[in-house]
Amino acid sequence: MSDQKVLICENLKVELQEFLSSLNYDKLFILTDTNTQEKCFPLIQSVPAIQDAPVITVEAGDMHKNLEQISYIWTRLSNEGASRNSLLINLGGGMITDMGGFAGATFKRGIHTINIPTTLMASVDAAVGGKTGINFNGLKNEIGSFYPPLCVFIDCGFLSTLDRNNLLSGYAEMIKHGLISSMDTYASVMLFDLDQKLDYTFLNRMVAQSVAVKEQIVEEDPKEKGIRKALNFGHTIGHAYESLSFKKNKPLLHGHAVAAGIVSELYLSHKFCNFPMDKLSQVVYYIKEYYPPFMFDCKDYESLYELMTHDKKNEGGVINFTLLANIGDVRINQDVEKEKILESLDFYRESFGV
Across the range 81-87, mean pLDDT stands at 97
Closest CA relative to residue 2, chosen from 196, 108, 173, 150: 150
Q: Read off the pLDDT band of 157 (50, 70, 90).
A: confident
The arithmetic mean of pLDDT across residues 32-49, rounded, is: 95
Q: Rounded CA gap, 260 and 163, in Å?
A: 20
State how far the Cα of 179 lies from the Cα of 281, in Å rounded to an integer.
13
CA 60/CA 58 separation, integer angstroms: 6
Residue 1 has pLDDT above 50, yes or no: no
pLDDT at 2 over 50: no
pLDDT at 181: 95
Tell me which amino acid residue 246 is.
F
**What percent of the chain has pLDDT above 90?**
76
| Across 18-27, 72-81, 170-179, 223-232, least confident range | 223-232
Average pLDDT, the chain: 93
Instruction: Report the interhelical angle of 254-273 vs 235-247 (nearest 10°).
Output: 140
Task: For residue 6, give the 3-state DSSP assignment.
Answer: strand
- Look up residue 165 and give its amino acid: N
State the average pLDDT over residues 151-179: 91
- In the chain, the largest separation of any two C-alpha atoms, in whole Å, equals 59
C-alpha–C-alpha distance, residues 121 and 135, integer Å: 17
pLDDT in tens, 190-247: 998 888 777 777 888 899 999 999 989 988 888 888 899 999 999 999 999 999 999 9
Q: What is the pLDDT of residue 3?
A: 63
Q: Is the pLDDT of residue 126 over 50?
A: yes
Outline where 86-199 has alpha helix (H): 94-106, 120-121, 164-181, 183-191
| Lowest mean pLDDT segment, chosen from 102-106, 137-141, 233-237, 306-310 | 137-141
Residue 122 has pLDDT above 70, yes or no: yes
In order of start, what are the domains of the chain with their CATH numbers? Answer: 5-161 (3.40.50.1970), 164-197+224-352 (1.20.1090.10)
Q: What is the pLDDT of residues 284-323, one digit of tens each?
A: 999 999 999 999 999 999 999 999 998 877 777 789 899 9
Integer Cα distance of 135 and 248 in angstroms: 17
pTM recorded for the entire structure: 0.85
